[in-house]
């Protein structure tokens, strides 16, 4: 029995047909901030695999079920589904969400089946896509750079283009906060490292030539936007080869 009179729009159903159709079997659909996750069981069935103990999550589940059914899928809600109660502490909430996302990232795989988490994540190429006017509310927009991270599948050699946030989930902070230009490799410095360098007199005695702060560009090369304003240590690529 459904109490909801909400119905998915034509556009939403069209989106669902495309998006749900593209998902591989066993992949997880986890709409952001929805409190629910689904696994695609086969070509015409999804199963609810996670649900937050929250009234909005229940509502989202009802709406997603209506959408998936309108797209021709059966939606299963397992009897033993464990509801997860979100912590009240916002920091713990953020940690829980991060852990959930990381768990999903562990299931991502190349088309050949090889897990992305096992690819050589250190070998990443950052590709600038375009600058868009992003909506920041109240009819205001701000320019935002869109980037893609290219990694190579270690099994079949295919170049895989992934969202920087997804790369961050897979590779963690230290790899994400580094960048290779055509001439240098840059690694972000933590506050503790900067403090140690400061204590060692690096910034007052003039030895800090290879420590710098990244802006929008180095020379003519665009810097990935997540590294703008970050203190980094740079190393010439030739140095590493020698």
Question: How many residues sit close enough to Zn ion to count as binding (CB under 5 A)?
Answer: 7
Q: Which is nearer to Zn ion, 49 or 151 (CB)?
A: 151
Query: Measured from the CB of residue 153, what is the shortest distance to Zn ion in angstroms?
Result: 3
What CA–CA distance (Å, rounded) separates 22 from 29?
11
Tell me if 81 sits within 8 A of 74, measured CB to CB. no
* Candidate ranges 21-29, 87-95, 112-120, 198-206; the one touching Zn ion (CB under 5 A): 112-120
Enumerate residues 141-170 that contact Zn ion by CB under 5 A: 153, 155-156, 158
Q: From residue 63 to residue 102, what is the string marking binding to Zn ion with x (rule CB under 5 A)?
A: ----------------------------------------
What CA–CA distance (Å, rounded) separates 119 from 84?
31
Distances (CA, A) of 142 to 24, 138, 145: 35, 12, 10
Of the residues 114, 128, 147, 197, which one makes contact with Zn ion according to CB under 5 A:
114
Of the residues 52, 110, 149, 227, which one makes contact with Zn ion according to CB under 5 A:
110
Query: Measured from the CB of residue 118, what is the shortest distance to Zn ion in angstroms?
Result: 10
Query: Measured from the CB of residue 124, what is the shortest distance to Zn ion in angstroms?
Result: 16
Cross-strand bridge partners of residue 50: 37
User: Among residues 20, 2, 5, which one has the least CA distance to residue 68?
Assistant: 20
Alpha helices by DSSP H, the chain: 10-22, 55-70, 90-105, 164-171, 173-176, 191-199, 237-241
Binding site residues, Zn ion, CB under 5 A: 110, 112, 114, 153, 155-156, 158
């Amino acid at each position: 029995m459904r109490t909801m009179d909400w119905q998915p729009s034509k556009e939403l159903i069209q989106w669902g047909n495309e998006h749900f159709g593209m998902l591989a079997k066993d992949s997880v659909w986890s709409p952001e901030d929805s409190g629910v996750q689904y696994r695609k069981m086969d070509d015409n069935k999804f199963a609810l695999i996670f649900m937050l103990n929250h009234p909005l999550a229940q509502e989202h589940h009802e709406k997603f079920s209506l959408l998936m059914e309108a797209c021709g899928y059966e939606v299963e809600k397992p009897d033993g589904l464990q509801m997860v109660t979100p912590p009240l502490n916002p920091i713990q909430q953020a940690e829980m969400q991060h852990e959930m996302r990381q768990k999903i990232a562990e299931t991502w795989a190349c088309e050949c089946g090889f897990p992305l988490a096992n690819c050589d994540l250190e070998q990443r190429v950052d590709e600038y896509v375009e600058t868009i006017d992003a909506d920041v509310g109240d009819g205001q927009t701000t320019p935002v750079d869109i980037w893609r991270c290219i990694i190579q599948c270690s099994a079949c050699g295919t170049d895989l283009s992934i969202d920087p946030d997804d790369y961050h989930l897979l590779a963690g902070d230290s790899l994400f906060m580094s960048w290779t230009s055509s001439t240098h490799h840059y690694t972000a410095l933590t506050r503790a490292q900067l403090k140690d360098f400061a204590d060692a007199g690096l910034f007052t005695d003039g030895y800090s030539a290879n420590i710098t702060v990244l802006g929008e560009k180095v020379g003519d090369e665009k810097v990935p936007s997540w590294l703008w304003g970050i203190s980094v240590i740079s190393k010439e690529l030739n140095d590493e080869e020698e």
